């Protein structure tokens, strides 16, 4: 009976054969531990108002999941009069869903584009209210809010490299 060569074991001495096996196992170990991680970008909430409501409200948003409001950006098309205008960003806890809590940030500015880092932790059902104390002095307000949803509210799946390659080769019927 003819002996078939083993492609995983090489070497003439026992030490060389064990070293060959260890090298092969290290190679397989590194390959099996590789996973593909998808990065979930922040959600952008955006809006535009020609002019704020008479009470100063520019926009109200309800947040559907736990997460972090990282940044608020506003672009004001036109300011009336001179001097700065006060803007408020208020994040309120929903009294029905959770505890009544509130986070407030106020800033005075006259710049056409305003970017404020917030970093406020929010829970499902919280409200964001952007407003101004002088609604008659502001026109044409663009608003965008960056909101990072907590990972527990996202679908998480780790793929081995081979599984990921297989997914890439399969046609997507939705397209």
pLDDT band at 19 (very low <50, low <70, confident <90, very high): confident
Residue ranges of domains in the chain: 1-33, 43-153
**Alpha helices (runs of H) in 37-107, residue ranges in sequence order:** none
pLDDT at 173 > cutoff 60: no
Residue 49 confidence (pLDDT):
95
pTM attached to this predicted model:
0.63
* CA–CA distance, 119 with 110 (Å, rounded to integer): 23
How far is it, in rounded angstroms, from Cα 67 to Cα 146? 11
Helix (H, G, I), strand (E, B) or coil at 162: helix
Element (H or E) spanning 18, and its range?
helix 14-32
In this structure, whether the domain defined by 43-153 belongs to CATH 3.40.50.12280 is answered with no
Q: What is the mean pLDDT of the chain?
A: 81
pLDDT confidence tier of residue 161, bands split at 50, 70 and 90: low
Beta bridge partners of 75: 113, 142
Task: Please tell me the predicted confidence (pLDDT) of residue 26.
Answer: 76
Given this model, what pLDDT does residue 140 score? 95
So what's the pLDDT on residue 115?
92
Rounded to whole angstroms, the Cα distance separating 127 from 134 reads 21
């Amino acid at each position: 009976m003819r002996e078939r060569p083993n492609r995983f074991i090489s070497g003439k001495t026992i030490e060389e054969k064990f070293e060959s096996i260890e090298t092969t196992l290290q190679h397989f170990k590194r390959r099996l531990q590789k996973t593909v991680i998808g990065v979930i970008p922040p959600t952008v909430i955006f809006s535009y108002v020609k002019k704020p409501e008479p009470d100063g409200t520019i926009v109200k948003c309800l947040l559907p999941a736990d997460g972090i409001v990282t940044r608020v950006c506003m672009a004001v098309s036109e300011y009336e009069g001179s001097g700065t205008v006060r803007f408020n960003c208020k994040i309120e806890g929903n009294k029905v869903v959770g505890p009544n809590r509130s986070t407030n940030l106020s800033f005075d500015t006259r710049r056409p584009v305003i970017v404020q880092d917030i970093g406020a932790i929010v829970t499902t059902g919280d409200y964001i209210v952007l407003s101004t104390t002088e609604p008659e002095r502001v026109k044409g307000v663009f608003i965008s809010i960056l909101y990072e949803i907590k990972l527990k509210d996202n679908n998480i799946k780790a793929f081995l490299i081979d599984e990921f390659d297989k997914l890439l080769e399969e046609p997507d019927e939705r397209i």
